[in-house]
Amino acid sequence: MNVTEEIKRGAGKEKNQSGDYLIRAITGDRQIRAIAVKTTGLVEKARQIHRTSPLASAALGRALSGALMVASFLKSGKEISLTFQGDGPLKRVVAEADLNGNVRGYVKNSGANLPMDQEGKLAVSRGIGRGTLIVRKDLGLKEPYEGQVPLISGEIGEDLTYYFTKSEQTPSSVGVGVLVNADLSIAAAGGFLIQLFPEAEEQAISRLENNIKAIKSVSSLIEQGMSPEELLTEVLKGLKFRIMESKEVQYSCRCSRERVAALLAGLDPEEINQMLKEQGRVEVGCHFCDKSYEFSREEIEKLELGSDN
């Protein structure tokens, strides 16, 4: 499904930051499983943290919504990361999510922007460009599982659809969208993920395909007030389904001073000493929440990270 965004005319309205949530559903005949998510508030939070351009907001918002839906398939306590690495001006878009509805992400070049396409939509495809989608899953094993597929469009939803079909052999459809206000705030964001079970019949598949084709813009439906339940009603029109789970989702970074100190332990002691020599301290910033952690020379010595210790 080709989902597009646009910059909405007029000033943005204040959004309920706690109104984001995700639902998982299954059709009564167990032929199709479906997920829908509203992420307007958390994408706005991400925009504020990273000070993203409209193009970067759209790309990051799509990735955050996609990561939350993919993570909903995981077992308790595990997490996934999606990396869209392309040759476009955005360079790299990363989103990480866990089963509990926590998500975080960043854009390598958050200020990059491009002219609108011919339809007046944000050019996310050109912003990401050609490259690779890397899906990394922490499944509780010694090493995380990692799958890679080429980016087929840079549209994120289409690339995730291709990943599920190619890498996991699961026929899927992913639709994600972000609507940006004229004042650069987020008017609406969210998406859906549909997967077919092997028992899916042609009649159900045909009906589903027609329903998805009729949806031109996920973000516009959410901006009009459509809930995740109502969004699935549109996607699964004519098919009976029941909701298996509903949970809140939020932008949340798990970085801490202790985690950063552990990361510093993996650096070359000479590199740490060079930073101390040049700056008199070691400063590390978090890509996901833009927090900065400073370590004085005395703190570094206590952590025994320098080469002179």
Spell out the domain ranges in the chain: 7-251, 257-303
Its CATH class, for the domain covering 7-251, is alpha beta
Per-residue pLDDT of the chain (309 residues; tens, 9 = 90+): 333 345 454 434 333 345 999 999 999 889 999 999 999 999 999 999 999 999 999 999 999 999 999 999 887 668 999 999 999 999 999 999 999 999 999 999 999 999 987 777 899 999 999 999 999 998 767 778 899 999 999 999 999 999 999 999 999 999 999 999 999 999 999 999 999 999 889 999 999 999 999 998 999 999 999 999 999 999 999 999 999 999 999 999 988 888 888 878 777 778 888 888 888 788 888 889 988 888 888 887 777 655 454
User: Which helix (DSSP H) or strand (DSSP E) does residue 138 occupy?
Assistant: strand 131-138
Residue 1, burial from CB neighbour count under 10 angstroms (0-12, 13-18, 19+): buried
φ/ψ (deg, to 5) at 201:
-90, 155
Largest CA distance in the chain: 71
Q: Which structure tokens are listed for 246? A: 């509903």
Q: Classify residue 225 by burial, with Cβ atoms within 10 Å: 0-12, 13-18, 19+.
A: exposed
Asked if 82 and 70 count as a contact pair (C-beta separation under 8 A), the reply is: yes
Contact residues for 59 (Cβ-Cβ < 8 A; gap 6+): 84, 90, 93, 107, 124, 127, 128, 156
User: Residue 32 burial (CB < 10 Å; 0-12/13-18/19+)?
Assistant: buried
- Round to whole Å and give the CA distance between 149 and 134: 7
Please give the distance of CA 24 from its chain centroid, rounded to a whole number.
Answer: 17
User: Taking the mean position of all CA atoms in its chain, how far away is CA 286?
Assistant: 17
pLDDT at 8: 52
> Is the distance from CB of 175 to CB of 1 less than 8 angstroms?
yes
Q: What is the number of other CB atoms lying within 10 angstroms of the CB of residue 267?
A: 13
Q: Which CATH superfamily is 257-303 part of?
A: HSP33 redox switch-like (3.90.1280.10)
- Give Cα 34 to chain centroid, integer Å: 17
**Is the separation of the CB atoms in 103 and 120 below 8 Å?**
no
pTM for the structure as a whole: 0.88
